[in-house]
Amino acid sequence: MSRVDVVVVGSANVDHVVQVSRLPSLGETVAGNRYFTAPGGKGLNQAVAVARQDASVALIACLGTDEAGDQLARVLEGEGIHAGGLRRTSQSPTGLAFIAVAASGANTVVVAPLANATLTPEDIDAAAGLIAGARVLLAQLEVPAATVARALQVARDAGVTTVLNPAPAPGPAWGQAIAPGLVDVLVPNETEATELSGVGAEDAGAALVAEGCGTVVVTIGEGGALVTSRSGPSSWLVPAFAVSSVDGTGAGDAFCGALAAGLAAGEPMTAALRRAAAAGALATTAMGAVPSLPSAAAVGSFLARSP
């Protein structure tokens, strides 16, 4: 099995996106002014984000044997993503997501996991050699927690750096499904950090490091990212970059993918986080998830122009 820099374990969806002037309140209907479909799912998004940072990457995921699955398989091929961990199933259709994006860039997302929910620990075992040969494992929680836990354990046993984006957050009992000690770098947003730790976002990093995570990076949108680590400085802020945002859908995935790529390249955490912040900012300047994910050249140029 070919060696890659980063292995991503996660979901792959077809996103159905509607632009609206504002997001609806509970029970309210608003009119959309643009509709399109695009490849998505946090696993696929983050794999593409890694690939566009010029790192080699494989995706372990499950697609249906339908046209949507064929569409996503073509995306992976086009992005140069290793498909050795990809499984197709006729028992469930490919995952779907329904996204409303407001003029402000704010969004709401409803996900139907479908084939993603059938990714199993046995799929991880089948791709154990792929994981063991990588430098970084990157995972999220849009596939079963038991599958993610197995992937983290396989990576830890092989000495591979583990990065977990705990989205959607499973709540404060997450340690019962996934041992925090298996996570070298945890990357929640403010809401996820609070749900996981039971304390406010400002204190969540310290609480989650105390539970066993090596480093916790709490992303706080325009406020940047608050980092708490067991080693080096106990905590510091990674400033956000000011951009004209139109859609925040892929920002977190761009951040995680660029961070994983940077760590796989041997960059210090501070440098990898700055690159991740730049990638996340650039992703908000275009519509959609995968279409918005920036290239390494775009990130490098943006950083060169930024103070």
Mean pLDDT of the chain: 94
Q: Is the pLDDT of residue 26 over 80?
A: yes
Instruction: Round to whole Å and give the CA distance between 227 and 219.
Output: 9
State residue 107's pLDDT score.
83
* The pair of three-digit structure tokens given for residue 5, joined into one six-digit string: 């820099």
Enumerate the H helices of the chain as residue ranges.
42-51, 67-78, 121-126, 128-132, 145-157, 190-197, 201-211, 251-264, 269-283, 296-305
The catalytic residue positions are: 253
pLDDT in tens, 35-50: 989 899 999 999 999 9
Torsion-angle region of 198 (φ positive above 0: left; ψ -120 to 50: alpha; else: beta): left
State residue 48's pLDDT score.
98
pLDDT in tens, 138-160: 999 999 999 999 999 999 999 99
Task: For the chain, give every domain's residue range.
Answer: 6-305
State residue 287's pLDDT score.
81
Q: Is the pLDDT of residue 133 over 60?
A: yes
pLDDT in tens, 278-304: 999 999 998 878 889 999 999 999 999
* The pair of three-digit structure tokens given for residue 224, joined into one six-digit string: 């940047």
Range 6-305: architecture per CATH: 3-Layer(aba) Sandwich (3.40)
State residue 69's pLDDT score.
97
74, 93 Cβ separation under 8 angstroms? no
pLDDT in tens, 258-279: 999 999 999 999 999 999 999 9
State residue 232's pLDDT score.
65
Please give the average per-residue pLDDT across 186-198, as a whole number. Answer: 95
Pairing of strands 225-229, 215-219: antiparallel
The answer, yes or no, to whether the previous bond of 168 is cis (omega within 30 of 0) is: yes
